[in-house]
Each structure stands twice: as C-alpha cells, then as structure tokens.
Amino acid sequence: MNAGARDVVPRRRAPGLDIAVVGGGMVGAAMALALARAGFASALLEARQPPPWHAQDEVDLRVVGLAPSSVDLLEELGVWQSVRESRAGPYAHMHVWDAASGATIDFAAASAGQRQLGYIVENRLLQWRLWQALEAAGVPCFCPANVSGFEVREDRIQLALADGESLAAGVLVAADGATSPLRQLAGIATRGRDYAQRAVVAHVQTERAHEHTAWQRFLPTGPLALLPLADGRSSLVWSLPEAEAQRVLGLDEQDFIDAVGVASDFRLGRVVASTSRAGFPLKLQLATRYQAERLVLLGDAAHAVHPLAGQGVNLGLRDVVELRDTLVAARAAGSDLGAAHVLRRYARRRRSADTLDALGFDALARIYAWQSPALVAARGLGMGLLDRLAPLKRRLAEHAAGS
C-alpha cells in the first residue's frame, strides 16, 4: 500500500452504511475493521492520511503498551502477526519502585496466567497495519474527510462533510480524539482535571539490557517509565510538571541523558545515548455520557487518562470489543442498530468500566504525589503489603491484562 492509496473514496462505494466511524487512529481503525469482519457495512472517515511505516525508519516516539486483551483483538482482526513480525517489544515482568519510600512491587505475566504482560508497539506501526488491513478488506475509507455537522433522522444519521458531500449511516461512531469535534456537536460535556504536567518521551540506550521488563519509578514530580523496545533500547515516558518538562526538553543531549540516569536511579546503568525528544500534555478527561441519538463515543473521545498505567489505548480497544459485540447482538435480535436502548447498553457498560479505571489511575497519581513523611511511610507500607498479597496482586495483573 503506498502513501497515496487512501484518497477520498467515491460516495457511491458506500451505499446504505450500517455504521460510519469518524477518526482513523488506532482505535477508530480497529473499530471499522472489527465491524467489517463482523459483516457490517462500515466506512472510515479521517482528516489526514497516516504516514506510512517503514522498518528502516527510526522508532516512533509514541508507543503503546498493548495488553493481552488487545493482542487477542488484533489477532482476531488478522493484523497482530504482521505487527509482531515488524517490531514489537514483549515484556513479561514489571518492576515498580517508589523513590521516596524505597518500597517495590513486582508483577510477572505468569501470575496472571499469561506468557507476556504486554508488548510495546509504535503507534504509527499499529495504525499503518490496521489501515493496510482495511484496504485489503475493501472497507471504504474517506480521506481526507471532515464532518462539519450531522442531522439525526428517524432511521439514520446524515453527515455533512466539509467538501459539500454527505453520507448516511445507521450509527455514527465518534473516534475523533480527545478534542472530539463530534462530541462537541452532540452537546456532550466532559469532566476531569489538567495535571499541569507533560510527558517527556524519547528512546534511550542504556548500559544494561532492559531484560524484557517494564521499569517504573515514582518520583515526587511524577512517574518515570522505561519500556522495553524490540531493538534493545528503552522507551522513556517521564511525567513532569510543565515548567520542569520544558527545562528537560531544552537540555543538550549529555545533560538530558545524565538527568534520565539520575531520575531512573541508574537501574539499567548509565544512559549512553538518546533520540530526539518530545513532550505531550497530560490530563484526565471523561465524557459525561457516551451516547447521543444514533451516536456513540469511542476511545479518547470518551476518555483520556494518565499514562502512568499505560492503559489508554487498551481501554479504547475494549470499547471496540464491547461496541462490536453489542451491535452483533442487536442485529441477531432484529433491532435497529441505532436504537437508543442498543447504544445505551454499550454506553452504560463502557462508561462504568472506563470511569473506574480512569479514577483508579488518577488516585494512584495523587497517592504518589504525597510528600509528607507520614504519608510517604504509609504509601511504602501499602506497597509492601500489596507486593506480599499474591491473590490481590494477581487480580491487578489480570485486570491490566484485560481479563
């Protein structure tokens, strides 16, 4: 597939759509593919062509930690093998430690009945493989396409596109990101908080091997993670207050790798090299509802969470599974796919699960921000107890795996 292969598809190729998915990121593309594999007439609308992925390119700075549940979905969609064979870093262990108290927690895949806790995969690689699969499956992809408005009718939702064209579907899936124009058009509000932090990301080479382990250290300023890449390096995700993040982003390479070494407690030895770096703002954002007439929210349009648990995309892919299964059940029952009671079932289940997870991640961020000696001691005691409570630790690992 070449970079120009996904130009605007003529509207006549998508008559009588069951579902239109707006947003061609990892979650939106997976949704469109899952619907097509389930036999629905679906189409994907995206404003920008994703950049092609090439093995000789530098590893994308944006990576995702795919949980076993996400891998299972990608296998079902027929894309995991190509992702795994391209560039995916497996990890079977996670080591977490608290800089202030010295307490540690270790997780192992075996304790959750899994071979791996997950895989570190480039965002760009996963998106590209999904788009290739969409093309192979013959799913209409309108790109570039921008939805300027929509009108709900009795049996469909009519989309107005910025180029003057229109498109109708029984259901509209908004997977258009955290700033979701469709969510705003539907009048759905959000709640949450700005962490006033930025995640500084880079790929670093260290003296010692990463041992196929995800390393995470909680510092008073925020968590630092070193995630194992397939090429032997580690992906750095370092959450810092905004001003400190800007300072770190402005350091020269030697000062930067020295700072990463200190912040990571030299757990993998000295940092000997780094790629360029980038920073991304962090916030907690939850849609107050996931449903409007003939419309549902998916992925970041519904929920944006703190990256400390690495679960953002995994939550989105669980949305995909829930929505697909809900629509398959509705079709089997002879129901209107866009009926309020059908979409409400998806919205209720996923909003409840996503809210619990998001608030749990937020609570962890707050707990690890404690700096008073008494609270630090209490936190260390709690970590120590958790590390020794095998059943509870196993359940946490299972939940992170999507079980």
Ordered by start, the domain boundaries in the chain are 11-53+60-366
Range in 95-99, 100-104, 156-160 with the lowest mean pLDDT: 100-104
Q: Within 13 A of 99's CA, how many CA atoms are on the CB side?
A: 21
398 pLDDT tier (thresholds 50, 70, 90)? low
DSSP per-residue codes, 362-399: HHHHHHTT--SHHHHHHHHHHHHHHHH-HHHHHHHHHH
- More confident of the two residues 5 and 150: 150
For the CA atoms of 361, 362, 368, 373, what is the dihedral angle to 10 degrees? Answer: -140
Q: If you average pLDDT over every residue of the chain, what do you get?
A: 89
In CATH, the architecture of 11-53+60-366 is 3-Layer(bba) Sandwich (3.50)
Q: Which of 114, 123, 119, 115 is nearest to 30 (CA)?
A: 123
Whether omega before 223 lies within 30 degrees of 0, making that bond cis, reads no
Q: What is the pLDDT of residue 253?
A: 96
226 pLDDT tier (thresholds 50, 70, 90)? very high
Q: What is the pLDDT of residue 307?
A: 76
CA atoms 300, 303, 305, 309: torsion sign: negative
376 pLDDT tier (thresholds 50, 70, 90)? low
Q: What is the pLDDT of residue 355?
A: 87
Q: What is the pLDDT of residue 396?
A: 61
C-alpha–C-alpha distance, residues 47 and 143, integer Å: 6
pTM here?
Answer: 0.90
Number of H helices and E strands in the chain, helices first, is: 11, 20
Asked if the model's pLDDT at residue 311 lies above 90, the reply is: no
Contact 161, 7 (CB under 8 A): no
